[in-house]
Amino acid sequence: MYGFAFYLSYPQSLSGQGEASLFPSLSTTSPSSSATSPNNIPTSPSPPILKQQCKFSRRDFTICSNSSLLLLLGSALVESRARAEEGSAVEQENAPPNCTAKAPTKRAFLDISIDGEPAGRIVIGLYGDDAPAGAARFSGLVSGAAGISYRRKEFVKIMPNYVQHGGVRSYGVDAELAKRTGSNLAAESLVTEWEKRNEKCPGTKNLAGSVGIVVRDPTKPPPKIKLVARGGKLEIDEEDAGADPNGTEFVIASKDSPELDTSTLVIGRVLEGMEVVEKIGQVKTVQENTGSPYFSRVAKLIGDKRATVAERGFNRPYSKVLITNCGLIQ
């Protein structure tokens, strides 16, 4: 019987000596020394014995390993950079707008007097890009382009966090002058701008030093419902409890005033003269007496208009605080 043998032979050393080859070599051997049987019957040659040897140096192995490692590291680095750039783009897209870094486009000034004595000048930077309607309204009133101006008009309220100017009237001489120049004293466009700003910028907007126009009255009660006889029929009628702001009153915040965010559109900030604002804030005012049982429990409950009038007089300055001159700084 004849057997088959397969074996792999590896080089004794990595120096390349010996019979090692990169290709297999075939050799025929026979388990016996004779090529014929004892009966002189020719025998078939033994199956070839497969001998395979691989030649691979340590230097080649090191180069191959280092190349593979560099390839993996490079691939990981490219993927990491791609993810970082994608994440940065998503963050920039979802980031809220910057609501504090606003650049003034115009400058206005207000000269102030207290009881006839000059108190100083306040310089205000107006946000023409961020609040175009509000900045245009204010600049028109300080320059007199609207036919009326803030000149000789008073500050009417002094609070711990802000001071408020009374603006111009929607009736009488001021309204007539505004009508002649085609100026609109309504606040609808300002309210729209205020609503958009509140949607874009959460958090406190009336920060210390900010200047804003009063566009709505959050304390205004709802209209009163009453029955009115018309044409022999009873109809439901609504009686307005008071007039809405006309978009000319403005406030200057001496401290952060989140309570103003529900009523005021920020249109600029004080660039110079915060010490003048502080002087106005130190003027004595009419103290509130809402703690009075008559005022809080009786007068307002029965709808006594005298209570409403008295409430409007709270925090008014005893001294006359006027804008003696105002305008735009070129």
Per-residue pLDDT of the chain (330 residues; tens, 9 = 90+): 444 444 444 444 444 444 444 444 444 444 444 444 444 555 555 555 444 444 545 555 455 555 666 666 666 666 767 676 666 554 444 444 556 668 999 999 999 999 999 999 999 999 999 999 999 999 999 998 877 899 999 999 999 999 999 998 876 667 666 666 556 677 888 999 999 988 888 888 999 999 999 999 887 777 778 778 888 888 887 776 677 888 999 999 999 999 999 999 999 999 999 999 999 999 999 987 656 655 555 555 555 555 555 566 789 999 999 999 999 998
How far apart CA 248 and CA 170 sit, in angstroms, is: 9
Angle (CA) 251-252-258 rounded to 5° is: 80
The three-class DSSP label of residue 279 is helix
Backbone torsion region of residue 315, taken as left when φ is above 0, otherwise alpha when ψ lies between -120 and 50, otherwise beta: left
Q: What is the pLDDT of residue 221?
A: 72
CA atoms within 13 A on the CB side of 289: 11
| Domain locations along the chain | 1-32+47-56, 62-95, 106-329
The three-class DSSP label of residue 62 is helix
**Which residue in the block uniquely carries the two structure tokens 């200047």?**
211
Instruction: For residue 24, give the amino acid letter.
Output: P
What would the pLDDT profile of 122-162 be if each residue is shown by its tens digit?
Answer: 999 999 999 999 999 999 999 988 778 999 999 999 999 99
**CATH code of the domain made up of 106-329:** 2.40.100.10
* CA distance between the termini of the chain: 117
Q: What is the pLDDT of residue 24?
A: 45
How far apart CA 34 and CA 248 sit, in angstroms, is: 125
Contacts of 181 (CB under 8 A, 6+ apart): 145, 146, 147
Q: What is the pLDDT of residue 219?
A: 76
How far apart CA 17 and CA 7 sit, in angstroms, is: 20
CA atoms within 13 A on the CB side of 88: 6
Say if residues 213 and 139 touch (Cβ distance below 8 Å): no
How far apart CA 150 and CA 110 sit, in angstroms, is: 9
Q: What is the pLDDT of residue 211?
A: 98
pTM over 0.85: no
The alpha carbon of residue 110 and the mean position of all alpha carbons in its chain are separated, in whole angstroms, by 31
**Which residue in the block uniquely carries the two structure tokens 């245009």?**
136
